[in-house]
Amino acid sequence: MVNETKGLLVVISGPSGAGKGTICKKLMEKNNFWLSVSATTRSPRAGEENAKSYYFLTRDEFEEKIKCNDFLEYAEVYGNLYGTPRSSVMEMIDNGKNVILEIDIQGALKVKEAFPEGVFIFILPPSMEELKNRIIGRGSETPESLMTRFKSAYKEINYVSKYNYAVVNDEVALAVEKIQGILVAEKCRVDRIKEDILDNKEGIVHEQFYD
């Protein structure tokens, strides 16, 4: 009676140090999740494969795709362009695959404008104290840059109100479980499946009683 075969675009976002990467890695180990592959104009590094690590494009190719509106979002970082290709994401969703997009907050907000029917999940650190510990744990930070990163993460948490869900990453397995629950719920949301229910109902009853 209900068509639940279309996939979801699941956007995993949040401040750096919240643990987005680890969560996405664990999600990928579950069935039916596909990581969105970004496009970039930067050169491939040793071991990087085209269409797996990135879609490697020339600047001309990339700019052509911008003109054709084929990016859900894109940004220039240190002179290189990075973007999320719309067509490859849409193809996977149409084939019933849930596409995971791990992305920073600015990128996520752009994706939300381009594709509001995505599921936008904000990953929160268990506490600001723990966030500080995680940023310190990564090393290679001077006290000044640590403070900058921390203050930036602090400000970024205000963007949680733009998201659909917030998941506290105190324990990775638990956070992943919550995200799986969110996807189950999203596939039952009336806003998503109303048309299917009402269309099918009509068909079945018509057949049985009015023909």
Q: In the complex, which residues of this chain contact a second copy (CB under 8 A)?
A: 1-2, 121-122, 124-129, 132, 154, 157-158, 160-161, 163-168, 177-178, 180-186, 188-190, 193-194, 197-198, 201, 204-205, 208
Residue 149: both structure tokens together? 């990163």
Residues 6+ apart with CB under 8 A from 204: 1
- In angstroms, what is the minimal distance from the CB of 99 to a second copy? 18
Radius of gyration (Cα) for the chain, nearest Å?
20
* Tokens (6 digits) for 188: 């039952």
Q: How near is the Cβ of 126 to a second copy at its closest, in Å?
A: 6
Task: Consult the annotation and say whether 17 binds a ligand.
Answer: yes
Q: Is 118 annotated as a binding residue?
A: no
Closest CA to 31 of 198, 180, 209: 180
20 annotated as a binding-site residue: yes
Q: How far is the CB of 203 from a second copy (least distance, A)?
A: 9
Complex with a second copy: residue 128 or 136, whichever CB lies closer: 128
Smaller CB separation from a second copy, 42 or 134 = 134
| Residue nearer to a second copy on the CB measure, 59 or 206 | 206
Among 145, 156, 144, 141, smallest CA distance to 103 is for 156
Is 53 within any annotated ligand binding site? no
Smallest gap from residue 144 Cβ to a second copy (A): 14
Q: In the complex with a second copy, which residue's Cβ is closer, 57 or 121?
A: 121
Q: Residue 151, annotated ligand binder?
A: no
- Please tell me whether 46 is known to bind a ligand: no
- How far is 193 from 178, CA to CA, in rounded Å? 22
| Sequence letter at residue 98 | N
Least CB distance from residue 209 to a second copy, whole Å? 8
CA distances from 84 to 29, 99, 100, 110 (A): 22, 12, 11, 10
Residue 21: how many CA atoms within 13 Å on its side-chain side?
A: 2
Which residues are annotated as part of the binding site for ATP?
Answer: 14-21
